[in-house]
């Protein structure tokens, strides 16, 4: 590894380490006395919601914390692409809530189907009503059904999006396994913003890895509603190195934007009338905040949730905090790491607010690892703060992996990705793969 690559890596670790230290100070403050208790309801048991529930309870055990999550085992989207590549089992993505229960969090497996912000009540599909002093929403994303003509929820059962891990992931994997050698896999990538900016490109990398081993005559086409994407140069260099001409990326400027889908025939039509026939078709549709955010009145005309960056409290409705993919939090990406960091900041702010104290200074970090081949990883990292009431990226706080890096460095990046996933799963749910 060259000295310049080593130096840049040391600087990146130093910068992220500072952010982590700041977060540790924020979260290591003494627990408050029991008389400061309140009622907090958290909706959504993913990286943002489970983290918020856990850290509120850890900071002040006297606060009554209820987590509402339909799934008894939460299935993560990060690392699901490795399942498509044959490098990871599906069950490795599932995490339970035993640790949260052991801390005293009341975990209810049900759907939240209404929020009365005036009365501070949440209604559940099972009939219960929960009262709160503070509400945390971590609803993830929903899809803009119909934004692509012919692609609605019913069509997604034939042509999966697999952008929420679960049954759709299993469906896509079965279709890939059944595809004949020499077939065509088409993935459509949505316009910004959307969950996990590098996700579609890691997915095709992992599918290409599977095809190289089992269906080497096959072809992959990415039809993109954008002209650029996260870690683009690194992805394209890796594709050429490992997969030759197997992967073709068609940007919007070259008629890559899909406007129409025939799910039954697995045919897509682009903006200027070109059609593409797929053997396996993976539509990643345009997105918006999860439905409960709209029901709570915290979304704006964009379909996403504006928040106060110091606390992640809604800018529109007091006492409702929103974390994770549903938020307008640029320049932070919509990622699991971001959601976890935001959940911690919201937790600290809520504990302080219930005790009549001002929020502590907020600091955030994000790292996103992507795998192009089994021992070839790349990453993008950033540290974020608040300046003049806006989220900013701290100057020289990370960036992408070096373009000219050794095989040893890329192997380390792949290893770091696994270590990151295990660490953040342990931090969020108390479990690891």
Residues 117-151 as b/e (b if ≥16 CB within 10 A, e otherwise) read: beebebbbeeeeebebbbbbbbbbbbbeeeebebb
Q: List per-residue pLDDT tens for the chain, 433 residues long.
A: 444 334 443 443 344 433 343 333 344 444 444 554 899 999 999 999 999 999 999 999 999 999 999 999 999 999 999 999 999 999 999 999 999 999 999 999 999 999 999 999 999 999 999 999 999 999 999 999 999 999 999 999 999 999 999 999 999 999 999 999 999 999 999 999 999 999 999 999 999 999 999 999 999 999 999 999 999 999 999 999 999 999 999 999 999 999 999 999 999 999 999 999 999 999 999 999 999 999 999 999 999 999 999 999 999 999 999 999 999 999 999 999 999 999 999 999 999 999 999 999 999 999 999 999 999 999 999 999 999 999 999 998 889 999 999 999 999 999 999 999 999 999 999 987 6
Beta bridge partners of 75: 94
Indicate the pairing of strand 134-137 with strand 39-43: parallel
Query: CB of 140 within 8 A of CB of 326?
Result: yes
Burial (0-12, 13-18, 19+ Cβ within 10 Å), 73:
middle
Ranges of each domain in the chain: 3-140+290-429, 144-286
CATH assignment, 144-286? 3.50.50.60
Same fold, 3-140+290-429 and 144-286: yes
Can you give the pLDDT at residue 130? 98
Q: Which two structure tokens, joined as six digits, stand for 27?
A: 């979260």
Cis previous bond, 4, omega within 30: no
Nearest-angstrom CA–CA distance, 71 and 140: 14
Report yes or no: 226 and 192 within 8 Å, Cβ to Cβ. yes
Predicted confidence at residue 431, as pLDDT, reads 87
CATH architecture of 3-140+290-429: 3-Layer(bba) Sandwich (3.50)
Please tell me the pTM assigned to this model. Answer: 0.91
Q: Three-state SS for 94?
A: strand
Helix ranges (H only) for 312-433 are: 336-354, 407-429
pLDDT given at position 397? 87
């Amino acid at each position: 590894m060259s000295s310049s690559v080593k130096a840049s890596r040391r600087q990146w670790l130093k910068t992220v380490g500072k952010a982590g230290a700041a977060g540790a100070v924020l979260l290591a403050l003494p627990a408050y006395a029991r008389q400061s208790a309140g009622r907090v309801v958290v909706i959504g048991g993913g990286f943002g919601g489970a983290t918020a529930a856990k850290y509120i309870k850890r900071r002040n055990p006297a606060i009554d914390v209820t987590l509402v999550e339909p799934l008894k085992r939460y299935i993560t989207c990060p690392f699901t692409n490795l399942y498509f590549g044959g490098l990871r089992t599906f069950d490795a993505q599932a995490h339970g809530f035993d640790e949260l229960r052991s801390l005293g969090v009341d975990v209810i497996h049900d759907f939240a189907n209404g929020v009365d912000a005036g009365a501070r009540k949440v209604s559940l599909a099972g009939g219960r009503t929960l009262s709160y002093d503070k509400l945390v929403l971590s609803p993830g994303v929903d899809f803009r059904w119909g934004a692509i003509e012919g692609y609605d929820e019913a069509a997604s059962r034939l042509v999966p999006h697999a952008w929420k891990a679960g049954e759709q992931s299993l469906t896509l994997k079965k279709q890939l396994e059944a595809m004949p050698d020499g077939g065509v896999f088409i993935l459509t990538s949505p316009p910004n913003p959307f969950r996990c900016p590098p996700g579609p490109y890691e997915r095709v990398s992992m599918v290409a890895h599977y095809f190289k081993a089992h269906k080497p005559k096959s072809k992959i086409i990415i039809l993109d509603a954008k002209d650029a994407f996260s870690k683009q140069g690194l992805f394209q260099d890796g594709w050429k190195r490992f997969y030759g001409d197997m992967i073709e990326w068609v940007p919007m400027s070259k008629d890559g934007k899909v406007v129409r889908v025939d799910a039954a025939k697995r045919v897509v039509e682009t903006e200027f009338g070109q059609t593409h026939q797929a053997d396996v078709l993976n539509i990643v549709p345009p997105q918006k905040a999860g439905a409960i955010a709209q029901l709570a009145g915290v979304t704006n005309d964009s379909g996403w949730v504006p928040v106060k960056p110091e606390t992640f409290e809604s800018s529109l409705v007091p006492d409702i905090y929103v974390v994770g993919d549903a938020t307008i939090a640029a320049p932070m990406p919509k990622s699991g790491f971001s959601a976890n960091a935001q959940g911690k900041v919201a937790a600290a702010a809520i504990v302080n607010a219930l005790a009549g104290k001002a929020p502590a200074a907020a600091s955030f970090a994000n790292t996103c690892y992507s795998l192009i081949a089994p021992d070839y990883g790349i990453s993008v990292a950033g540290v974020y703060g608040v300046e003049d009431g806006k989220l900013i990226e701290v100057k020289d706080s990370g960036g992408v992996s070096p373009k000219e890096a050794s095989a040893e460095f890329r192997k380390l990046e792949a290893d770091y990705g696994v270590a990151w996933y295990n660490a953040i799963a342990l931090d969020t749910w108390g479990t690891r793969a």
